[in-house]
């Protein structure tokens, strides 16, 4: 089955990669299940499932105790933190683990809000998921002024001039997404961070959607905070936040008294989901092995993660080109976002469409019956669906590709969509 991919991305061992994910071999109504729902949450490799089960079977305990299972838990969490440090390119003590991106963002925004005064400004974007919007918008309660940067409706790219205009000496924080979970646009986050820094403002980057598609280097980016969710890049349902050490140390978390004042633990509330943290380490192990198979010469874990991205990029690109070409040929279909293949470096393989005569829910249901898992609605990118005037009519149909998908799945999906639309 993966022969087509092997010609376009020689170093990705797709057969091996797919074999790691037990869920990919399921069927629905006799059709092979096709997981185009990655933007809502990806599937997990066997080792993640095993790590979660193994933790519960052998080491289930709370942290900081003077006995074996508790010590093993402490060690396991430290290993997961270090692994995430390599994934994002920072130190382990700059990694805060939490239930999900939204919770981490609310927690951090409350603490940053403690330092803000009436008249201070925050700049957000209309391209972002609401989890990088509403937590900041809530600071209006304190008299903070919130400004929003627009996006260009024609190609759904961030209006960088508008963003630059809105960042001034009054700006205290700029929050922006690395990539849109709706229209797939990859933003120029390096420039967003530069503009924020130039104005003396903090930068808060939502990398939830970008993480399965491209390498993240918080040091090269120079951002102050970056947040992601491991369940979007083949790990368990958890969130991780990078915070620059100086900020994590200086800012005051809301916390219970007995909790340590040491970073990063002072930012982690209550007892975390330890079994899923074991899964986070296993998830990074998967990335590492994918990379080592793609490029056996790599030495460090970080190099292996980068090699994994190098290997999946051409594969995702080839599927994206075929999917976009096929979608655009379907009568009555509108594709939102960048559609010119020459600009595909600026988008992920996440596509939203509408088809005349069908609601997104009708399309998703009919595709679902045929085994294709897609999403309909706004996926919490509420400003995007409102700006593009599709919110009241069901949002979009979203098709999200990740590296475990195949060209054959893309072609079958296009055939299914053509058949549905013709009826």
**Nearer Cβ to ligand PLP (238/320):** 238
**DSSP calls for 329-366:** TSTTEEEES---GGGGGGB-SEEEEEETT--HHHHHHH
Sign of CA dihedral 292, 295, 296, 299: negative
- CB 287 → ligand PLP: shortest distance, Å? 18
For the record, the structure tokens of 382 come out as 């509420």
Sort 406 into a burial class: Cβ within 10 Å, 0-12 / 13-18 / 19+.
Answer: buried
- Stretch touching ligand PLP by CB under 6 A, among 128-136, 156-164, 370-378, 384-392: 128-136
- CB 185 → ligand PLP: shortest distance, Å? 11
- CB 38 → ligand PLP: shortest distance, Å? 10
- CB 284 → ligand PLP: shortest distance, Å? 17
CB 101 within 8 A of CB 227: yes
Q: Binding to ligand PLP by residue 203, rule CB under 6 A?
A: no
Q: How far apart are CA 336 and CA 352, in angstroms?
A: 6
For the record, the structure tokens of 392 come out as 């009241």
Q: How far apart are CA 183 and CA 179, in angstroms?
A: 9
CB 321 within 8 A of CB 159: no
# residues contacting ligand PLP (CB under 6 A) = 14
Selected from 20, 42, 73, 102, the binder of ligand PLP by CB under 6 A is 102
Q: How far apart are CA 6 and CA 10, in angstroms?
A: 5
CB 106 within 8 A of CB 363: no
Q: How far apart are CA 111 and CA 189, in angstroms?
A: 23
**Nearer Cβ to ligand PLP (52/208):** 208
| Eight-class DSSP state of 225 | E
Q: Which residue has the tokens 């104005």?
A: 199
Question: What 3-state DSSP class applies to 227?
Answer: strand
Q: Binding to ligand PLP by residue 398, rule CB under 6 A?
A: no
Q: Binding to ligand PLP by residue 100, rule CB under 6 A?
A: yes
Q: What is the CA radius of gyration of the chain?
A: 21
Selected from 48, 108, 208, 221, the binder of ligand PLP by CB under 6 A is 208
Q: Binding to ligand PLP by residue 264, rule CB under 6 A?
A: no
Could you say which residues in the range 24-83 bind ligand PLP, by CB under 6 A?
Answer: none
- Stretch touching ligand PLP by CB under 6 A, among 30-38, 204-212, 351-359, 390-398: 204-212
- Stretch touching ligand PLP by CB under 6 A, among 13-21, 135-143, 205-213, 320-328: 205-213
- Stretch touching ligand PLP by CB under 6 A, among 126-134, 142-150, 154-162, 386-394: 126-134
Selected from 20, 42, 157, 229, the binder of ligand PLP by CB under 6 A is 229
Q: Binding to ligand PLP by residue 206, rule CB under 6 A?
A: yes
Q: How far apart are CA 94 and CA 202, in angstroms?
A: 16
Q: How far apart are CA 208 and CA 395, in angstroms?
A: 20
Closest of 308, 371, 292, 335 to residue 33, by C-alpha:
371
Selected from 80, 83, 97, 101, the binder of ligand PLP by CB under 6 A is 101
**Nearer Cβ to ligand PLP (20/102):** 102
For the record, the structure tokens of 327 come out as 């979608």
Q: Binding to ligand PLP by residue 209, rule CB under 6 A?
A: yes
- Stretch touching ligand PLP by CB under 6 A, among 94-102, 264-272, 279-287, 296-304: 94-102
- CB 358 → ligand PLP: shortest distance, Å? 24
Question: Which secondary structure element, helix H or strand E, spans residue 303, and what is its range?
Answer: helix 301-328
Q: Hey, how many other C-beta atoms are within 10 angstroms of the C-beta on 19?
A: 14
**Nearer Cβ to ligand PLP (195/241):** 241
Could you say which residues in the range 167-186 bind ligand PLP, by CB under 6 A?
Answer: 177, 181
**Nearer Cβ to ligand PLP (192/414):** 192
Q: Binding to ligand PLP by residue 420, rule CB under 6 A?
A: no
Strands 372-373 and 225-229: unpaired
- Stretch touching ligand PLP by CB under 6 A, among 97-105, 155-163, 288-296, 299-307: 97-105
- Stretch touching ligand PLP by CB under 6 A, among 100-108, 115-123, 196-204, 400-408: 100-108
Positions in the binding site for ligand PLP (CB under 6 A): 100-102, 129, 131-132, 177, 181, 206, 208-209, 229, 239, 379
């Amino acid at each position: 089955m993966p022969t087509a991919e092997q010609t376009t991305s020689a170093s990705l061992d797709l057969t091996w990669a797919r074999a790691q994910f037990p869920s990919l071999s399921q069927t629905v109504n006799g059709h092979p299940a096709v997981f185009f729902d990655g933007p809502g949450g990806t599937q997990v490799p066997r080792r993640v499932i095993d790590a979660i089960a193994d933790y519960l079977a052998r080491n289930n305990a709370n942290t900081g105790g003077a006995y074996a299972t508790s010590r093993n838990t402490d060690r396991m969490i430290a290993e997961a933190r270090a692994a995430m440090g390599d994934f994002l390119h920072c130190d382990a003590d700059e990694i805060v683990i939490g239930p999900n991106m939204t919770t981490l963002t609310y927690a951090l925004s409350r603490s940053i809000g403690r330092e803000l005064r009436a008249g201070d400004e925050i700049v957000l974007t209309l391209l972002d998921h609401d989890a990088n919007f509403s937590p900041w918008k809530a600071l209006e309660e304190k008299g903070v002024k919130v400004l929003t940067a627009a996006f260009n409706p024609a190609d759904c790219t961030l209006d960088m001039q508008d963003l630059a205009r809105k960042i001034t000496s009054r700006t205290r924080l700029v929050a922006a997404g690395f990539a849109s979970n709706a229209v797939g646009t990859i933003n120029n986050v390096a420039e967003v961070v530069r503009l924020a820094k130039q104005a003396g403002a903090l930068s808060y980057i939502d990398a939830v959607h970008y993480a399965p598609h491209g390498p993240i280097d918080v040091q090269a980016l120079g951002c102050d905070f970056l947040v992601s969710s491991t369940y979007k890049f083949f790990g368990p349902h958890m969130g991780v936040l990078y915070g620059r050490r100086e900020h994590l140390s200086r800012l005051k978390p809301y916390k219970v008294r007995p909790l340590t004042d040491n970073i990063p633990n002072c930012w982690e509330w209550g007892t975390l989901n330890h079994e899923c943290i074991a899964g986070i380490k296993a998830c990074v192990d998967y990335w590492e092995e994918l990379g080592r198979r793609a490029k056996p010469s790599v030495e460090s874990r970080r190099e292996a993660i980068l090699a994994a991205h190098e290997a999946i990029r051409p594969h995702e690109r080839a599927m994206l080109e075929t999917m976009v070409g096929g979608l655009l040929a379907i009568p009555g279909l509108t594709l939102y976002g960048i559609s010119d293949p020459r600009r595909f470096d600026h988008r992920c393989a996440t596509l939203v469409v509408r088809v005349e005569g069908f609601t997104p829910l009708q399309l998703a249901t009919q595709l679902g019956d045929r085994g294709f898992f897609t999403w309909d609605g706004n996926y919490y990118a509420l400003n995007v669906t409102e700006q593009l005037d599709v919110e009241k009519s069901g949002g979009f149909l979203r098709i999200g590709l990740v590296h475990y998908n195949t060209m054959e799945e893309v072609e079958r999906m296009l055939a299914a969509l053509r058949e549905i639309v013709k009826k």
